[in-house]
Amino acid sequence: MTISFIIICCIVAVGAIAAMSLRNLVHCALCLTVSLAGLAALYLRLEAQFVGFAQILVYIGAVAILIVFAILLTRSNEPDESAVPRAGSWSGVAGVAVALVVFGTLVLSILSSSVGKTDLPASPGATVKDLGNQLMTHYVVPLEAIALLLTSAMIGAVLIAKPDKLRAGRVVKGGGEHASGT
Amino acid sequence: MGNPVDQIFVILKHWLLSFCPEGYVPIASILLSVIPIMAVFGGLFALTTILERKGLGRIQNRYGPNRVGPCGLFQPIADGVKMLTKEDIVPRAADQVIHFLAPFALIGPVYIAYSVLPVGRNMAALDLDAGLLFFFAVGAGSELAIFMGGWSSRNKYSLLGAMRAVAQMISYEVPLILSSVPVIMLAGSLSPTAIVDAQGGHSHGLMQWHLFTPWGIAGFFLFMIAASAEANRTPFDIPEGESEIIAGYMVEYSGFKFALFFLGEYLGLFAICGLGITLFLGGWHSPFVFLEWIPSYFWFFGKLMAMIFVFIWLRGTLPRLRMDQLMGFGWKFMLPMTLLNILVAAIWHLSKTWLFPGVYLTRWALCLGILCAAYVWLGRSLAGNRSVGKRVYRFAD
């Protein structure tokens, strides 16, 4: 429990609480980003450089932007009072119950696993090179499976977003027509 | 330690640290690395503003700033005083906290990115094993800062500008990272210091820079195109587009906060140029053996100034791309070319073991042939049936 650990934990916890309790959805998204950045700092503190930087690259660089875009494209900026459950309502109680069940399951599974029982190595020797070698040899099938899944998800998204030829009447073509001329 | 002139800054730092009391050495060491980075690149920003205005003036047949000091050289100081004393206007409807934080959220990550750039022999502030990943990860933070600036202004135009800027930066981040993958593959490391070391040797009187390989030439050009889009420079400066579509996400910023956005944009440009130098142009290595007596930091900053000059030149020469052209170019041309370049780099690497007379030329011809064929084919098919001919003017003749 060093000072840096306490500071990082405070950042993560405060960010997460703010992300839940603020009324403005964009504020919530930004607070969530702070919390995710704190998690990245936690990884870096554990000397897991690759995981830490990948966390920043993926979550802050992509997921946070995705959340923010989703908020802006689907609803107005004004805070929606009806969406936030009031304290004491049934949905709030159910939310707390679900959170407790998930927390309990996680604690039980961690306690029963062998993670805490084995001694940690003195210095984590996993460099980026080791990680790459493992990904390309031992874990190549899961890696390819994830790649295939993501590709199919992307193709599906493109198909959904494609203009409907029947409804639109004609295919809208971008560019080309305006480029010629003066 | 090598040549004392080359290592003067490293020696100076150690000498200064020797005066420091025992317990404060780590923090003093950090400060002695951070303060020069902030000072040098901040100074470079001031120098670049005057060079850019002078250079653009020369290209457009006008004088540029010529009133403050000899040849207008003190113009950056006057600009700085003006920016500092200007009234800081915040719209009443704006989200005050985020509006205030946005410029700092842009400046902070950009400055942090400099810490992994080796600006000279033994002169990288941080020698990380995953340094390149660090650079890209930190750079990803600037998109959120731009969004914060655009959204918090509560102005339709600034929000649209922010969306435009973020869409462009995300689209071009993909080719930017993919174009640096061949370097990582062939250097076998993510550490910028190791990548520079890999380009240190000489063969046939030529430096072994990554630029002097077929995948290196293609990679360098793809990288610099993506870099100019990431740094919002012409021909990709549609996020700002100050002359046609107002100033994008910066509309509601004035005074010092605007200056901070401006500074962030230039610092981002320097950082990404520095990365391009590290990846493809041999970092701080000199181009010829007989020039090695010139200190390493001189070469780094010389290359940096040369690249800044090219960017100023491009800004004075090229028009802006339209939004759909920009996106189409990024996804339909840059992305396939960077993927193909990774393949070509693999061919180049695997064909190293071939043994027959004239193998070097054969490898060059094979790799360059693949890239050129793809370039021509992709360019032709993307152009469609649009014919490019002599431009006809209706009124200007």
CB contact under 8 A, B133 and A176: no
ipTM of the predicted assembly exceeds 0.95: no
Residue A124 has pLDDT above 70, yes or no: no
Mean pLDDT of chain B: 85
- Nearest residue in A to B128, CA atom: A49
Binning pLDDT at 50, 70 and 90, where does residue B92 land? confident
Binning pLDDT at 50, 70 and 90, where does residue A181 land? very low
Residues in chain B within 8 Å Cβ distance of A60: 137, 140-141, 144
> Average pLDDT in the B183-199 region?
86
Does A62 lie at the interface with B, CB-CB under 8 angstroms?
Answer: yes
- Nearest residue in B to A67, CA atom: B144
Q: Compare CB distances from B140 to A57, A68, A178 and report the shortest one's residue.
A: A57
> Average pLDDT in the B307-312 region?
92
**From the candidates B128, B132, B143, B339, which should be mutated to test the interface with A, based on the most A CB atoms within 10 A?**
B143
* Inter-residue contact A147 to B294 (CB < 8 Å): no
φ, ψ of residue A179 in degrees (nearest 5) = -70, -35
Does B384 lie at the interface with A, CB-CB under 8 angstroms?
Answer: yes
Q: Is B264 helix (H, G, I), strand (E, B) or coil?
A: helix
Q: Compare CB distances from A65 to B138, B170, B391 and report the shortest one's residue.
A: B170
Least confident of A37-41, A94-98, A178-182, B64-68: A178-182
pLDDT of residue A121: 62
CB contact under 8 A, B130 and A26: no
Q: What is the pTM of this model?
A: 0.84
Q: How far apart are CA B209 and CA B140, in angstroms?
A: 28
- Read off the DSSP letter of residue B394: S
* Inter-residue contact B175 to B169 (CB < 8 Å): no
Q: Compare CB distances from A49 to B130, B166, B391 and report the shortest one's residue.
A: B130
Residues in chain A within 8 Å Cβ distance of B136: 53, 57
Non-local (6+) Cβ contacts of B306 within 8 A are none
State the burial class of residue B28 (Cβ atoms within 10 Å of its Cβ: 0-12, 13-18, 19+).
middle
- Nearest residue in B to A125, CA atom: B129
